[in-house]
Amino acid sequence: MNIATCAAPADAGSADAIALPTPTVAIIGAATLYLGDCYEILPRLGWLPALVMDPPYAFDTSGGGRFRAARGHTDQIAAEGLADGFDHQIINSLLCGSVVVFCHNDQLPGLLAYLDGNFDRFVLCSWIKSNPMPVANKHYQPDSEFYVHAWNSGFHPIGELADKKRHVVAPVGRAKYFGHPTVKPDHVMNKIITNVSGSTICDPFMGTGSTGVAAVRAGRAFIGIEKNPTHFATACARLAAAQGLEPAGVPTLSPDQQGRPLPILTPAQGEPK
């Protein structure tokens, strides 16, 4: 069994130290999970082969009527700030080989312009939902979600020809199992990981760990960052279970470990810097 929490031996007063809530980091097999703010943590991790992220969308959460009242997940999205958008600068093309980023339709113009100015190539892909919500709200039915795959030289999409379709079809409907309102299906994440180059995948908006589960099952190392302690705990359990590690829970830091600074990771051997 390889499941533990740890903290860096670095001086807490150094420039590289990051004070985070406990547990600071959980190392679960091939996964390293950080509890904290990705805008503070990700730049400290150094160069990474690939970022795969589902950041907060930017959209109006009002409306929905009786359908909204019956489901409740839109209220949770609003309460957790998952409709407030994100800062594009979390994606630094000098610190990663490629990025896959989900977004709302209304975020596409700004996001595509940003990625086009920072990466060599990009492609717009989509998740087509086989069971979309029966609403439209004076718009189109939300039967698909977009994601963009952008890359620099040497980190182009991989996989067989059959793996390289620009869409994936999968149903919605696992929020009730993991307590998160925007959980992505395994089939969607498996397809994305199949197309992403690099031995290590990082998701700075980890949520309950769907990216990580797909990554470790594909034999990749995974780094995840999540600021919500409840979702972090769920991700730890899922990553442990995905690797056959028991108990599939979050180890608790002892009092003498609490408040220590975050470990600083470096690129794996053999990866470009």
What pLDDT was estimated at residue 248?
42
Per DSSP, helices labelled H in the chain are 38-41, 65-71, 73-79, 108-116, 175-178, 186-195, 210-217, 229-242
* pLDDT band at residue 22 using 50, 70 and 90 as cut-offs: very low
Q: Say yes or no to pLDDT of 268 above 80.
A: no
Count the Cβ atoms, other than its own, within 10 Å of residue 240: 24
Residue 254 in this model has a pLDDT that exceeds 80: no
Pairing relationship of beta strands 31-35 and 221-226 according to DSSP bridges? parallel
Sign of the alpha-carbon torsion through 151, 170, 86, 25: negative
Confidence band, pLDDT 50/70/90 cuts, at residue 142:
confident
At the fourth CATH level, the homologous superfamily of domain 24-58+74-243 is Vaccinia Virus protein VP39 (3.40.50.150)
Between residues 268 and 45, which one has the greater pLDDT? 45
Domain ranges of the chain: 24-58+74-243
Q: What is the DSSP letter of 175?
A: H
Establish whether the linkage from the previous residue to 261 is cis, with ω within 30° of 0.
no
Give the tens place of pLDDT for each residue, 1-18. Answer: 455 555 433 333 334 444
